[in-house]
Amino acid sequence: MGDKKVIFSGMQPSGALTLGNYLGALKNWVKLQDEYDCYYCVVDMHAITVPKEPKDLRRNTLEVLANYIASGIDPEKSTLFIQSHVSAHAELGWVLNSLSYYGELSRMTQFKDKSKRLDSNSIPAGLFVYPTLMVADILLYQADLVPVGEDQRQHLELTRDLAARFNNRFSETFKVPDAYISSEGAKIMSLQDPQSKMSKSDSNENAYILLVDSHDAIRRKFKRAVTDSMGVVSYNDEQPGVKNLINIYSKISGKTSETIVSEYEGKGYAQFKDDVAEVVFGELKPIQEKINYLLKNKDYLEKIYLLGAEKAEYVARKTLRKVYKKIGFIPR
Ligand code: TYM
């Protein structure tokens, strides 16, 4: 374990996970487990930056953990834990709030997008400092790589900036991590508007596929997916809807976009959409069965997250102790 490079990543339990979360991040996490020392976190503290019903948060947190395991994250290989169980995240987050600037946090596009939807008097301060908590998540484990989707790239750049800033000011302390963003699947787009990303907070449920969607729902949503009037399955930016469907198909089947395009030469969108739906459901079916099984076995999930918190805490405390010492806090 000790010599392996370190991976950290997390997902918000803000609702059920989407095909975007799965293809952009989770599917890559599974592949990285053998080669790296991986920490995969359910970031519940991030999820409260927008108002959330306590009972939904509790349910979603366990569901996300079940989704991780059902998708192939092996608790024997990777450390799985819940963010709020390791208080070092909040503590380093505070230190980093004092190291980051109002200007740079104002430029974060995720903050701009989310705050735009709210009245200016009701934008939680937590939403503004959300990225510094994410930076803390990553730096506590001295992560080398952070597997995420394209939408998190800017937060990863901030992570690198703050790590370097701390190292410059207080001497070498943090590893400066790299983002790991794979080419296909890095940005799965909405099925209703292929110019915007697939998101679980979309008001139109036809825009996203949830990992727990039924076979019928998946078929229906792909049938309704917005394409274009060209009628040719081809991979280019003028046909963003079709391109998105090809990306989904490709990421799951492992076939290249060229192969897929040649398979559908002379065939219409209807057949293609049906086939994409079947490929997606084929991938999700065994995952759904495992999710259902795990959610009936809460004791098992509890064992996993308690053990994970212990392992994570040990590593995180070690980094935090160093940080506190360097910034001049008196050791207790
Ligand atoms: P979150 O919870 O929004 O998304 C979890 C992961 O899924 C990826 N993703 C997508 N990838 C491709 N296409 C999409 N349509 C799509 N939608 C989401 C995201 O890029 C992400 O990798 N801030 C993070 C959570 C976080 C985190 C961290 C991540 C907190 N601390 C530390 C990595 C490291 C977020 O909101 O992800």
Give the pLDDT confidence of 28-54 residue by residue, as tens digits.
Answer: 999 999 999 999 999 999 999 999 999
Ramachandran region, residue 328 (left: φ > 0; alpha: ψ -120 to 50; beta: rest): left
Report if residue 194 sits inside a domain.
no
Task: Let me know: does 163 contact 134? Beta carbons within 8 Å.
Answer: no
Give the pLDDT confidence of 7-17 residue by residue, as tens digits.
Answer: 999 999 998 99
Question: HEC string of 57-71?
Answer: HHHHHHHHHHHHHHC
| Residues 278 and 158 both lie in one domain | no
| Residues 178 and 37 both lie in one domain | yes
> Which of 77, 200, 223, 255 is the catalytic position?
200
Does any ligand 1 atom lie closer than 6 A to the CB of residue 134?
yes
| Residues 12 and 139 both lie in one domain | yes
| Residues 180 and 71 both lie in one domain | yes
| Residues 139 and 265 both lie in one domain | no
Does any ligand 1 atom lie closer than 6 A to the CB of residue 10?
yes
pTM for this predicted structure: 0.96
| Residues 134 and 239 both lie in one domain | no
| Residues 36 and 141 both lie in one domain | yes
Q: For residue 19, what pLDDT is reported? A: 97
Report if residue 1 sits inside a domain.
no
What CATH number corresponds to the domain at position 79?
A: 3.40.50.620
Report if residue 131 sits inside a domain.
yes
Quick one: how many helices (H) and strands (E) in the chain? 14, 5
pLDDT(201) > 90: no
Does any ligand 1 atom lie closer than 6 A to the CB of residue 91?
no
d(CA 43, CA 88): 13
Query: Is 175 an active-site residue?
Result: no
What distance in angstroms lies between residue 326's CA and the mean position of ligand 1's atoms? 31
Host domain of residue 114: 6-186+298-327
Report if residue 89 sits inside a domain.
yes
Task: Let me know: does 250 contact 260? Beta carbons within 8 Å.
Answer: yes
Report if residue 213 sits inside a domain.
yes
Q: For residue 2, what pLDDT is reported? A: 61
How crowded is residue 214: how many other Cβ atoms within 10 Å of its Cβ?
12
* Amino acid found at 196: S
Residue whose structure tokens are 């996970």: 17
pLDDT(185) > 90: no
Element (H, E) at 308: helix 298-327
d(CA 13, CA 91): 21
Report if residue 200 sits inside a domain.
no
| Residues 172 and 233 both lie in one domain | no
| Residues 62 and 148 both lie in one domain | yes
Report if residue 196 sits inside a domain.
no
**How would residue 233 be classed by pLDDT, with cut points 50, 70 and 90?**
very high
Tally of domains in the chain: 2
| Residues 170 and 80 both lie in one domain | yes
d(CA 14, CA 153): 20
The torsion angle over the Cα atoms of residues 221, 224, 227 and 229, rounded to 10 degrees, is 160
| Residues 65 and 181 both lie in one domain | yes
Q: Which atom of ligand 1 is nearest to the CA of 189?
A: 15
Report if residue 191 sits inside a domain.
no
d(CA 242, CA 226): 8
How crowded is residue 304: how many other Cβ atoms within 10 Å of its Cβ?
22
- Is 238 exposed, middle or buried, given 0-12, 13-18 or 19+ CB atoms closer than 10 A? exposed
Largest interatomic CA distance in the chain: 73
**How would residue 183 be classed by pLDDT, with cut points 50, 70 and 90?**
confident
What CATH number corresponds to the domain at position 218?
A: 1.10.240.10
| Residues 280 and 315 both lie in one domain | no
What distance in angstroms lies between residue 187's CA and the mean position of ligand 1's atoms? 10
Task: Let me know: does 126 contact 48? Beta carbons within 8 Å.
Answer: yes
What distance in angstroms lies between residue 220's CA and the mean position of ligand 1's atoms? 26
Does any ligand 1 atom lie closer than 6 A to the CB of residue 143?
no
Core vs surface per residue 54-73: b (16+ CB within 10 A) or e? eeeeeebbbbbbbbbbbbeb
pLDDT(181) > 80: yes
Q: Which residues contact 224 (CB under 8 A, 6 or more apart)?
A: 191, 192, 206
Q: For residue 117, what pLDDT is reported? A: 87
